[in-house]
């Protein structure tokens, strides 16, 4: 069953206004809900968890070379996908910088443990612009050895329409502001190109990003502790983070209790057996 979740984010001044409204604590809700700003109408995300992406779509990378999405999934690694546009005056830059900041806190490496793909939904943008943006965010990340793992693509209207529809990414051009209004979201994909997780906002806690990648990889990357964390924590779409899962924690506690009791009983049996042998020897 598809979960339909609408998350609305504008761009430029609209983002600032929304953040100011959301930061007010304890404000009483109005008797009637305010109408949606025109610039945000039809903007959001309709989640399609588990849906495979059309990997044969054609794009052009930052070097001007023709590529398909499929080639970023041949390595068997999970993929972080960002949809935006390179001339975005505010929001896209915040998302990319937030991703770079989160990546600094990971010991997982782009190009080795996972791939990152940024796709412009503006068909007028060029590989030259994509290359300039890649350089900007690689400097922000400051990991030159991972440059080959972050890919910046541009595409035709047809390819853009198909990828945004597959992800459930809804955006629109706002003529009065001469810019696009769009959601702030990253999409974590499995190594075979299925949607695993949506991460909303412009800040992505390193632990959340790491567990999302480990989960998407089906435990093919990460450590044993990561797998224990995934068992004890469930992803909370309301907060965009992994929250402690009481039921799983109780199960784990039950298993540990049984294991400890079993160990204690074994030691008692061994001690008693030794005592009997010692008594028989006398």
**Computed over its alpha carbons, how large is the radius of gyration of the chain?**
24
Q: What's the pLDDT at 10?
A: 47
Residue 74 confidence (pLDDT)? 82
Please give the structure tokens belonging to residue 278: 């010692």
Class of domain 13-18+38-218: alpha beta
SS3 243: strand
How confident is the model over 173-196, as a mean pLDDT? 94
In the DSSP assignment, the letter for residue 252 is H
pLDDT digits (tens, 9 = 90+) for 65-91: 999 999 999 888 999 999 999 999 999
| Max avg pLDDT among 2-16, 24-38, 78-92, 243-257 | 78-92
The residue ranking higher by pLDDT, 238 or 180, is 180
Tell me, what's the pLDDT at 29? 44
pLDDT(93) > 60: yes
If phi > 0 it is left, if psi is from -120 to 50 it is alpha, else beta; for residue 124 that is alpha
What's the confidence (pLDDT) of residue 241? Answer: 60
152 beta partners: 118
pLDDT band at 266 (very low <50, low <70, confident <90, very high): low
Decide if pLDDT at 142 tops 50: yes
pTM for the predicted model, two decimal places: 0.70
| Domain locations along the chain | 13-18+38-218
What was the pLDDT predicted at 27?
42
């Amino acid at each position: 069953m598809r979960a339909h979740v609408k998350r609305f984010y504008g761009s430029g001044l609209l983002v600032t206004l929304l953040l100011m409204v959301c930061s007010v604590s304890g404000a009483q809700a109005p008797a009637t809900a305010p109408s949606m700003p025109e610039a945000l109408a039809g903007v959001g995300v309709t989640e399609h968890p588990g849906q495979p992406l059309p990997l044969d779509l054609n794009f052009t990378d930052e070097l001007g070379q023709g590529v398909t999405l499929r080639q970023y999934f041949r390595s068997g690694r999970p993929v972080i996908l960002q949809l935006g546009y390179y001339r975005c005056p505010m929001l896209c830059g915040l998302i990319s910088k937030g991703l770079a900041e989160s990546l600094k806190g990971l010991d997982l490496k782009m190009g080795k443990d996972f791939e990152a793909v940024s796709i412009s939904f503006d068909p007028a943008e060029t590989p030259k612009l994509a290359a300039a943006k890649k350089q900007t965010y690689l400097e922000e990340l400051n990991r030159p050895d991972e440059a080959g793992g972050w890919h910046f693509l541009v595409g035709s209207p047809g390819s853009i329409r198909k990828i945004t529809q597959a992800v459930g990414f809804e955006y629109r051009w706002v003529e009065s502001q001469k810019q696009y209004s769009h959601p702030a979201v990253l999409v974590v994909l499995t190594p075979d190109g299925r949607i695993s997780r949506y991460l909303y906002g412009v800040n992505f806690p390193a632990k959340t990003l790491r567990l999302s990648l480990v989960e998407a990889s089906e435990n093919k990357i990460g450590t044993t502790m990561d797998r224990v964390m995934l068992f004890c924590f469930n992803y909370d779409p309301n907060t965009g983070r992994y929250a402690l899962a009481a039921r799983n924690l109780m199960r784990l506690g039950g298993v540990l209790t049984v294991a400890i009791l079993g160990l204690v009983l074994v030691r008692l049996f061994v001690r008693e057996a030794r005592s009997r042998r010692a008594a028989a020897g006398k």
